[in-house]
Amino acid sequence: MARLPRLVLPGLPHLLIQRGHNRQPVFVDDTDREAYLAALREAAANQRVAVHAYVLLPDEVMLLATPPDAEALGRMMQALGRRYVAAFNARHGRSGTLWEGRYRAAVLEPTRYFLPCCCYIEQSPVRAGLCERAEDWRWSSHAHHRGARNDPLVSGHALYWALGNTPFEREAAYRRLFETLPSAADLRALSESALRGWPLGSPAFLQQLQRAGHAAAPKPPGRPRKTPESVAVKGGVAMPAVGAKITLSPKKSHNPGAA
């Protein structure tokens, strides 16, 4: 089956997921995690990609990022992969691939899914059983959003800034949201959309993407259904569809004496 072309839309947030090959660890220790974050900061700055949220898990990385153009995400992930994998292999005396194929990505409708996605990413260490509270996991953007530290990797977003007029108000509002977001339905939708590569948003948002010529949902399996009005084209000649009513014209007589 052909790979689904990745949809990247400048100015919109994207949920990115990249996993280790066969779910093997991609970080052995904190030195690896520091190296990855350093490489991510450099690659994001070079491509002008805004990283709004992130988490490093033992065998997986999640990012919420907004690209300035259609090529920036791919260039950032390619540069990040080259630098980190080479350093990881050299440090641990290994060779070969580290990641499970290409990264997965989904375009998100900002007003509907930006904040739920931030919480989804930062809650993942708790869901994975790595810690009891998200603030106990050092390797995510959660400490930045709740005001525990300033993370130079994290770029602010208008929807986060709209949570309050001061840093204290924004951080307090985010902590309250973090206790309720995302819903169970949003949790499933975010995960499935990123892994399958389909955009996520309201029906109006998806219709807007379709009007702009972007595939916004998978096509139904099988061949399109035929209607009585449809025709099948064979050998360049339009043929009536199966079941369509056919009207025959009377044959002209070849008898010269016929009236």
| Mean pLDDT taken over the chain | 86
Predicted confidence (pLDDT) per residue in 197-207, tens digit: 999 999 999 99
pLDDT at 242: 40
The order of strands in the sheet holding 60-66 is: 50-57, 60-66, 14-19, 104-107
Q: How far is CA 63 from CA 13, 35, 169, 235, in A?
A: 10, 16, 25, 51
* CA nearest to 84, candidates 151, 48, 32, 161: 32
pLDDT at 223: 58
| CATH for 14-211 (3.30.1510.10, 3.30.70.1290, 3.40.140.10, 3.90.850.10) | 3.30.70.1290
| Band (239; pLDDT cuts 50, 70, 90) | very low
The pLDDT of 127-146, averaged and rounded, is: 96
- Element housing 83 (H / E): helix 72-92
| Band (108; pLDDT cuts 50, 70, 90) | very high
Q: Which residue(s) pair with 239 in the sheet?
A: 232
List CB contacts of 241: < 8 A, sequence separation 6 or more.
Answer: 226, 227, 228, 229, 230, 231, 232
**Alpha-carbon distance 124 to 117, whole Å?**
11
Does residue 116 sit in helix, strand or coil? helix
Instruction: Say what the pTM is.
Output: 0.82
| pLDDT higher at 216 or 92 | 92
Predicted confidence (pLDDT) per residue in 46-105, tens digit: 999 999 999 999 999 999 999 999 999 999 999 999 999 999 999 999 999 899 988 999
Dig out the tokens for 82 from the structure. Answer: 């080259």
Going from N- to C-terminal start, the domains of the chain cover 14-211
**Alpha-carbon distance 67 to 7, whole Å?**
12
For residue 144, pLDDT over 60 is answered with yes
Cβ contact 52:160 at 8 Å: yes
| Band (138; pLDDT cuts 50, 70, 90) | very high
For residue 233, pLDDT over 80 is answered with no
For residue 161, pLDDT over 90 is answered with yes
